[in-house]
Amino acid sequence: GENVEQHPSTLSVQEGDSAVIKCTYSDSASNYFPWYKQELGKRPQLIIDIRSNVGEKKDQRIAVTLNKTAKHFSLHITETQPEDSAVYFCAASPYGQNFVFGPGTRLSVLP
Amino acid sequence: GAGVSQSPSNKVTEKGKDVELRCDPISGHTALYWYRQSLGQGLEFLIYFQGNSAPDKSGLPSDRFSAERTGGSVSTLTIQRTQQEDSAVYLCASSAGAGGSTDTQYFGPGTRLTVL
C-alpha cells in the first residue's frame, strides 16, 4: 500500500522568510496530492492540490511542485506571516479512492 | 448544507460501552471518508465509501469498528466495547466523487471521543 513520508516534522521561520515542506510517496498509482492546513482545534482545510499531469501549481504565496519520477512533492510558502503558523499535512491518493496522509509538519512563523 | 457536519461534537463514554458517530456529507457528494486523529498526531485513514459501498475497509483498526452508509448520504461509524485507546477525534470528509477534479476532500469539524 501507499506510504507517505513528510519532512521536517517541525519548522520555525522568521516572518517574511520562505518555508518548504517535502513529502515522498511510494505508490506510482497515486495521482492526486493535496495539502491541508490544520490550526489548533480545527478541521483540516485544503490549501492547494496538484495532480500528476502537472509539475507545478501556484496560488498567491503558496506553490506546490511534483516530481513523479522521484515520487516526491513539496509545499512552498513565501513571505510567511504569523497566521501561517499551523500543522501542514500532505497526502497522496489514487483517483481519490483512499488517501494516505503524511505525519504532519508543525510550522511556526516567528514575528 | 453548507459543509460536512458531524454529531455529536463531543462524546464521553465509559470503557466497554458502544458509541455511534454520525456524518452528514455535503449534499450530492458520493465519496465519504472516515479518519481518526489522536492528540498531536496525523490523520489515520479508517474507511472509504463510494455511494453506499465501502471498497476500502483496510484502515479499520479492529472488528469492534464498523461503518455504514445508507441512501448514499449519511454515514455512521460504530465502535463497540470501547477501549481507552479509542479516544481520539474522528473526522469525516466527503468529495464529489473519485477521480478527476471531483476528488477534493472537505472535512467536517470532527467528533472528540473520550473513553474513560
Confidence of residue A1 (pLDDT cuts 50, 70, 90): confident
For residue A49, give the amino acid letter. D
Give the mean model confidence (pLDDT) for residues A31-41. 93
What is the three-class DSSP state of B100?
helix
Grid cell of A23 as nine digits: 513529502
Residue A89 has pLDDT above 80, yes or no: yes
CB–CB contact B95 A97 (8 Å): no
Distance, CA of B74 to CA of B6 (rounded, Å) = 10
**Grid coordinates 454515514 are at which residue?**
B75
Give the mean model confidence (pLDDT) for residues A99-108. 94
Confidence of residue B71 (pLDDT cuts 50, 70, 90): confident
Confidence of residue B36 (pLDDT cuts 50, 70, 90): very high
Distance, CA of B25 to CA of A57 (rounded, Å) = 28
User: Which of A97, A101, A105, A106 should be substituted to probe chain B, the one whose Cβ sees the most B Cβ atoms within 10 Å?
Assistant: A97
Write the burial class of residue B92 (CB in 10 Å: 0-12 exposed, 13-18 middle, 19+ buried).
buried
User: Which of B5, B103, B104, B111 should be substituted to probe chain A, the one whose Cβ sees the most A Cβ atoms within 10 Å?
Assistant: B103
Confidence of residue B99 (pLDDT cuts 50, 70, 90): low
**B61/chain A closest Cα distance in angstroms:** 15
- Residue A24 sits at the vertex; the CA angle it makes with A18 and A28, to the nearest 5 degrees, is 135
Are A2 and A97 contacting, i.e. CB atoms less than 8 angstroms apart? no
Q: Which residues of A touch B109 (CB under 8 A)?
A: 42-43
Residue in B with minimal Cα distance to A49: B104
Q: What does DSSP say about strands A62-67 and A56-59: parallel, antiparallel, or unpaired?
A: antiparallel
- φ/ψ bin of A104: left (φ > 0), alpha (ψ from -120 to 50), beta (otherwise): left
Residue B87 has pLDDT above 60, yes or no: yes
Confidence of residue A74 (pLDDT cuts 50, 70, 90): very high
Residue B101 has pLDDT above 80, yes or no: no
Distance, CA of A46 to CA of B52 (rounded, Å) = 25
**Grid coordinates 482545510 are at which residue?**
A45
Distance, CA of A111 to CA of B1 (rounded, Å) = 38
Distance, CA of B47 to CA of B60 (rounded, Å) = 6
Task: Give the model's pLDDT for residue B86.
Answer: 96
Instruction: Compute the 3-state secondary structure of chain A and give helix, strand, coil in percent, each to the nearest 5.
Output: 5, 55, 40
Task: Give the model's pLDDT for residue B102.
Answer: 58
Residue A91 has pLDDT above 90, yes or no: yes
Residue A94 has pLDDT above 90, yes or no: no
Closest by CA to B110, choosing from B44, B50, B37, B45, is: B37
Task: Give the model's pLDDT for residue A97.
Answer: 73
Confidence of residue B98 (pLDDT cuts 50, 70, 90): low
Give the mean model confidence (pLDDT) for residues A89-93. 94
Give the mean model confidence (pLDDT) for residues A45-70. 92
Task: Give the model's pLDDT for residue B72.
Answer: 82
**Which residues of chain B are at the A interface, by a Cβ-Cβ cutoff of 8 Å?**
31, 33, 35, 41-43, 45, 48, 50, 55-56, 58-59, 91, 95, 97-99, 102-110
